[in-house]
Amino acid sequence: MSKNSTMRDSKINSNHLNILIIDDNEQITKMITTFLELKNHNCRVANDGKQGLALIQENKHDVVLLDLAMPEFDGYAVIKALENNDMLKNNKIIVFTASTITQDELEELVSRGVTSYILKPIDIDLLLSKIIESATS
Amino acid sequence: MTIESLVENMFELDNPINELNRLLIKYDLTPNQAKVYLYLSKMGIKTASEVSKSLKIPRTETYHLLSTLQQKGIIFSVFGKPTKFNAVGIDESIAILINNEKNRINELETGKESIIKLWKLIPKYSGNKEKSDENKFQTLQGRNSILVKLEQMIKESSENILVLGTESDFKKFYYTDFTNLLQKTKSELRILTDYSNKGTHIFEDVPAKKIKKLDDKNREDFCFIIKDDSEVIFFVSNSEVKDMMALWTDSKTFVTTLRSLFSLIWKKAHHIDESNAESLLGSEITYEHRLREIEQEKLILNYLQKNFKLSENKLGARK
Phi, psi at B77, each rounded to 5°? -100, 155
Q: Do A121 and B292 make contact, defined as CB atoms within 8 angstroms? A: yes
Beta pairing partners, A63? A19
Indicate the residue type of B270.
H
Q: Which listed CATH number (3.40.50.300, 1.10.8.80, 3.10.105.10, 3.30.870.10) goes with B137-278?
A: 3.30.870.10
- CATH-assigned architecture of domain B3-91: Orthogonal Bundle (1.10)
Looking at beta carbons, which residues of chain B come within 8 Å of A123? 299
Which range has highest mean pLDDT (B174-188, B205-219, B234-248, B272-286)? Answer: B174-188
Residue extents of the structural domains in chain B: 3-91, 137-278
- The order of strands in the sheet holding B46-47 is B46-47, B84-87, B75-78
For A14, B51, B83, B84, B85, the CA distances from B76, given in Å and listed in that order, are 99, 14, 10, 9, 6
Most B-contacting residue of A28, A29, A31, A48 (CB-CB within 10 A), to test interface: A31
Q: Do A35 and B290 make contact, defined as CB atoms within 8 angstroms? A: no
Count structural domains, chain A.
1
Tell me what ipTM this predicted complex has. 0.79
Residue A59: which CATH number?
Answer: 3.40.50.2300
User: Cα A66 from chain centroid?
Assistant: 4
Gap from B208 CA to chain A (nearest CA, Å): 19
Beta pairing partners, A119? A97
User: Cα B30 from chain centroid?
Assistant: 25
Gap from B223 CA to chain A (nearest CA, Å): 28
B270-271 and B75-78 strand pairing? unpaired
Residue B77 burial (CB < 10 Å; 0-12/13-18/19+)? middle
Q: Give the separation between CA A47 and CA A71, rounded to whole angstroms.
A: 10
For A19, A25, B301, the CA distances from A31, given in Å and listed in that order, are 14, 10, 7
Q: Do domains B3-91 and B137-278 have the same CATH topology?
A: no
Res. B172 pLDDT band, cuts 50 70 90? confident
Q: Give the separation between CA B59 and CA B50, rounded to whole angstroms.
A: 9
Res. B86 pLDDT band, cuts 50 70 90? very high
Q: Do A124 and B303 make contact, defined as CB atoms within 8 angstroms? A: yes
Most A-contacting residue of B217, B299, B307, B308 (CB-CB within 10 A), to test interface: B299
pTM: 0.45
Q: Is the pLDDT of residue B219 over 80?
A: no
Q: Do B289 and A69 make contact, defined as CB atoms within 8 angstroms? A: yes
| pLDDT attached to residue B297 | 84
